[in-house]
Chains A and B, each alone.
Chain A
């Protein structure tokens, strides 16, 4: 069935480097995507979102890129810090406000 999936299950980066987390989706009709960060024992925390009429959106230290041609989005984190260590999920908002989550990528930041 249609799903949202991630390429890399685990990403290790050096503190201060930039991180890129990727996500592929299969539903070409999807028009809204969200990135969440989940720390151990906590609920998902909203990071940034993007609608399908945009290619790029920037927040504080984070940027989301959307490539509708290949149905791919990515989350870029600038100057990665130890506090960024977490599991990152992309989620697709389907009709009826149902969020479909990918499996998640573990980001580990090495000091």
Chain B
């Protein structure tokens, strides 16, 4: 049973470009979460989505960041007009239901903004 998949694993962007990060949850999981991790820090919650719905985006910056989880296909975290401060590891997690608190994480996407 494949785990959570993320791509790309590494992404390099210049300031002002757009970054698109993809996440495919574990089979049978309909809940997706995005977290950001700065070097030598813990993960910080960004957004929680179900299919076609954003449930909680309280951790998302107000501007430039957006997330979606369409009916078909992976969840996408989109960062517009990236700045150097966006450089971080972005992790996606999934869970089978809202009643299961356990979240299983993907390998992450390392974003570097030059």
- A-to-B contact residues, CB < 8 Å: 32, 34, 36, 42-46, 49, 89, 91, 93, 96-104
Beyond A44-B105, A49-B102, whether A89 also contacts B43 by CB under 8 A is yes
Please state if B35 and A99 are interface contacts (CB–CB under 8 Å): yes
Contact status B101-A44, CB under 8 Å: no
Question: Are A44 and B44 in touch, CB under 8 angstroms?
Answer: no
Q: Which of A49, A98, A100 has the most CB of B within 10 A?
A: A98
B31 in the interface (beta carbon within 8 A): yes
| A95 CA / B23 CA spacing, docked (Å) | 23
Task: Give me 18 A-to-B residue pairs in the complex whose CB atoms sit less than 8 angstroms apart, sorted by A's number.
Answer: A43-B6, A43-B105, A43-B107, A46-B102, A49-B101, A49-B102, A89-B42, A91-B43, A93-B101, A96-B48, A96-B56, A97-B33, A97-B98, A98-B48, A98-B56, A99-B45, A99-B93, A103-B41
The residues of B that contact A46 with a CB separation of less than 8 Å are 102-105
| In the complex with contacts A44-B91, A97-B31, A97-B33, A102-B42 CB distance below 8 A | yes
Shortest C-beta distance, A48 to chain B (Å), equals: 10
Number of interface residues of B (CB under 8 A): 28
Docked pose: A15 CA to B106 CA in angstroms: 29
Closest 8 CB pairs of A and B: A101-B42, A43-B105, A93-B101, A32-B101, A44-B105, A101-B43, A43-B107, A98-B45
Q: Do the beta carbons of A97 and B95 come within 8 Å of each other? A: yes
Bound complex: CA of A104 vs CA of B44, how far in Å?
A: 12
B1-34 Cβ-contact flags toward A at 8 Å (1 or 0): 0001010000000000000000000000001010
Is B114 engaged at the interface, CB distance under 8 Å to the other chain? no
Within B62-114, the residues touching A (CB, 8 Å) are: 91, 93, 95, 98, 101-108
Task: Tell me the nearest residue of chain A to B4, going by C-beta.
Answer: A43
Q: Is the CB of B102 within 8 A of A34?
A: yes
Q: Are B55 and A103 in touch, CB under 8 angstroms?
A: no
